Amino acid sequence: MLDRGSPDRPSTASHCLADVERLLFVEAQHLDDKTWETWADLYLDDAHYWVPSWLDEYELVADPDTQVSYIYHTSRAQLRERIGRIQSRKSITALPLPRTLHVISNIVLTERDELSVDARSSWTTHVFDPRTRRQHLHFGTYEHRLVRNADSYRIARKKIVIMNDCIPTVVDFYSI
Amino acid sequence: MNIHHPRERLIDDRPSDKAFHVSRDAFTDPDVFELEMTRVFEATWSFVGLETQIPRPHDYITTFIGRQPVLLMRDGEGRIGCFLNTCRHRATMVCPFKRGRQKFHVCRYHGWAYDSAGRNTAVTDKADGQYPAGFDQADRNLLPVARLESYRGLIFASLSADVPSLYDYLDDARTFIDLVADQSPVGQLEFVPGDITYTFDANWKLQFENGLDYYHFNSTHSSYVDILAQRARSGDATGFTTELADEVEGQGSFNFRNGHAVNWSIKKQVRYGRALASDPAGLAEVRSRVGDIRLKWMLRQRNLTIFPNLQIIDISSAQLRTWRPLAVDKTEMTSHCLAPVGESAEARRFRIRAYEDFFNPSGLATSDDNVMYEFCQTGYAARAGHTLGHLRGLDRGQGTRGDHARELGIAPIDDAFGGSGFGGETNFHPGYREWRRLLEGGAMEAADA
């Protein structure tokens, strides 16, 4: 039998797959439900939120200080800035807002220490724009670094790789 | 294709009546789009890349001129060539990669090979081919573009030979390329690595106009303006610049020959920093080399459009963007973070963060533009008569200030200057006039060749 982990069994010595999965799924739900303030609360104050671009067909950007990313934030305040822009209803990218649906799978944990774990997963986001009736799909991988405090995880880092990187019109935190 | 009297039908340009209108058909008619491909994009100078993208012998990149795929590469002696990316045998795209380094490009279909100078070096099993007489003497090399020239490391190609020299084509827009290139201690520009490609479902001319459109900034980007104000209150003033006390605040533009134009602004208080000003030592080096006047202009917002599909935006960061029209209502954009070779690591980091902040489909400003183009494209389908979108500045309310051009040593064919909320629209006119000239057959011979 393949070991896929299970809710009642720790997937690494210190971290249970079900706990990590719950955090990832809750994050996705907040994004889709547009409860973005609560979404941002999942991040630590100094969290890194990184969406690298591609150097060519095969290689991803590796160094945000010498190469271009779609988004590279190093604090939760920058996420809140993005949220505020959308919620102000002054940005027409939000008029109307698209409906999104995140699906996350293939979660693999790598333990860092008792309090910290890395989770790599696969994601797809379906995006439907009620204005144009167009829909598109983004897909890629997430790399979360989670830190446990008491009985809950917070996000210290999240790297989002977009595999289909010819972007239709707009991409923002809610659609990836 | 049947466009009768396109001068009257597509553009109503009557300077003596202070009238300038662009027909809605220019944005929505597939027949106009077909003509644009053959008579504009595939018949005049197009930006194809930077010399620094292919620094070594045998380096190459692939791109498009209009709809036609091209391969830009250096040969073994370091000479740059640009060739249609199509095998002479059966039309196959010879090079399928975005960039790389190869001495030879071998067509994957039947194995015909070309060297980095575009010469056909092998025809698979030629001896067994029972080819007709004369095959050996026939030109089997990759087909070079008609014209290929560079200015300050920016490489342009034309599929038509019937174009002026690049130097003359760029006219005094050259000075505004210099103002970017001379920010480098070695006078060279490079792209910061990282590819950004996006599309919008709208006509390419909406991007052409937007890059010259100062008027939209405070309304389209009001959410970004709020963010800038909030950040300014929070106190980080890295890279902020000031103007001398005797400068008159305002917004202006220069028009050049062959469709090019630039808009710029003079602001006593700018609410964003600049990469160039974020590094005092680098700034002093540039000042010593270019002098106070050029440096002053380097530190001003400048949006340059080189007709038909190149824009260089120099604000908090610098962006070089090009577009490839895919259909009358669909455009593919390629965006690069443009940087002076040799700037400090601090300035480079500042430049990259500022670029990501503003530009691209993920940026806090460009994303609004992209959606706005789609709003316009939808609106252009309405048969609501001509628009009133190209008239600001036609009456020259505040007149022009020739001293702006004089201190730069340029002679634009027209200029405009007004208050901070001016946002003149006459700087779209040269592009539309060149567009009409080409559509009317200025390059018909080349297109038909």
Q: Would an 8 Å CB–CB cutoff place B275 in contact with chain A?
A: no
The radius of gyration of chain B's CA atoms, rounded to the nearest angstrom, is 23
B76, amino acid identity: G
The model's pLDDT over B363-414, given as tens digits with 9 standing for 90+, comes to 999 999 999 999 999 999 999 998 999 999 998 755 566 889 999 999 999 9
Instruction: Answer yes or no: do A52 and B226 touch at CB < 8 A.
Output: no
Question: B196 to chain A nearest CA, in Å?
Answer: 7
For residue B337, give the nearest of A68, A167, A170 by CB distance: A68
Residue B2 clears pLDDT 90, i.e. is over it:
no
State pTM to two decimals.
0.95
State the DSSP code for B187. S
For residue B370, give the nearest of A52, A66, A169 by CB distance: A169
For residue B194, give the nearest of A67, A132, A172 by CB distance: A67
Residue B444's pLDDT is what? Answer: 43
Q: Would an 8 Å CB–CB cutoff place B344 in contact with chain A?
A: no
d(CA A21, CA A18): 5
Q: Which residues of B touch A167 (CB under 8 A)?
A: 196-199, 360-362
Residue B6 clears pLDDT 70, i.e. is over it:
no
Residue B366's pLDDT is what? Answer: 97
Q: Which residues of B touch A93 (CB under 8 A)?
A: 367-368, 371
Could you tell me the end-to-end alpha-carbon distance of chain A, in angstroms, rounded to an integer? 33
Instruction: Answer yes or no: do B370 and A170 touch at CB < 8 A.
Output: yes
Residue B9's pLDDT is what? Answer: 82
| CA proximity to B153, closest of B125, B132, B131, B182 | B182
Residue B422 clears pLDDT 60, i.e. is over it:
yes
Q: Which residues of A touch B227 (CB under 8 A)?
A: 81, 84-85
Hey, of B53, B59, B329, B356, which one would you mutate to test binding to chain A, going by the most A CBs within 10 A of its CB?
B356
- Give the strand pairing for B189-191 and B330-340: antiparallel
Q: What is the mean pLDDT of chain A?
A: 93
The tokens for B136 are 């050996």
Q: Would an 8 Å CB–CB cutoff place B440 in contact with chain A?
A: no
State the DSSP code for B244. -
Instruction: Answer yes or no: do A70 and B99 touch at CB < 8 A.
Output: no
Residue B35 clears pLDDT 80, i.e. is over it:
yes
Q: Taking a C-beta distance cutoff of 8 angstroms, is the pair A114, A126 a contact?
A: no
Cβ burial A70-101 (10 Å sphere, 16+ → b, else e): bbbbeebebbbbbbbbbbeebbbbbeebbebe
CA of B198: which chain A residue's CA is closest?
A167
CA of B367: which chain A residue's CA is closest?
A170
Q: Taking a C-beta distance cutoff of 8 angstroms, is the pair B204, B27 a contact?
A: no
d(CA B323, CA B335): 9
The tokens for B432 are 């539309």
Instruction: Answer yes or no: do B226 and A61 touch at CB < 8 A.
Output: no
Q: What is the mean pLDDT of chain B?
A: 94
B361 backbone dihedrals φ, ψ, rounded to 5°: -70, -15
Residue given tokens 């006039």 in the structure block? B433
Residue B445's pLDDT is what? Answer: 43
Give the SS3 label for residue B427: helix
Residue B397's pLDDT is what? Answer: 58
Indicate the helix (H) or strand (E) that contains B281: helix B280-298
**Count of CB atoms within 10 A of residue A36's CB?**
19
Question: B110 to chain A nearest CA, in Å?
Answer: 24
Residue B442's pLDDT is what? Answer: 59
d(CA B26, CA B36): 10
The model's pLDDT over A80-102, given as tens digits with 9 standing for 90+, comes to 999 999 999 999 998 899 999 99
Residue A9's pLDDT is what? Answer: 53
DSSP E strand boundaries for B177-281: 189-191, 196-200, 250-255, 261-266
Residue A8 clears pLDDT 70, i.e. is over it:
no
Rounded average pLDDT over B195-221: 97
Indicate the helix (H) or strand (E) that contains A155: strand A152-162
Q: Taking a C-beta distance cutoff of 8 angstroms, is the pair A115, A126 a contact?
A: no
Residue B398's pLDDT is what? Answer: 53
Rounded average pLDDT over A146-153: 91
Q: Would an 8 Å CB–CB cutoff place B253 in contact with chain A?
A: no
Rounded average pLDDT over B328-346: 97
| CA proximity to B103, closest of B91, B88, B117, B122 | B117
d(CA B305, CA A172): 28
Domains and CATH numbers, chain B: 46-148 (2.102.10.10), 165-448 (3.90.380.10)
What fold, for A17-175?
Answer: Nuclear Transport Factor 2; Chain: A, (3.10.450)
Percent of chain B with pLDDT over 70: 95
Instruction: Answer yes or no: do B367 and A169 touch at CB < 8 A.
Output: yes
> Residue A10: which pLDDT band, with cuts at 50, 70 and 90?
low
Give the SS3 label for residue B142: coil
Q: What ipTM describes this predicted complex?
A: 0.94
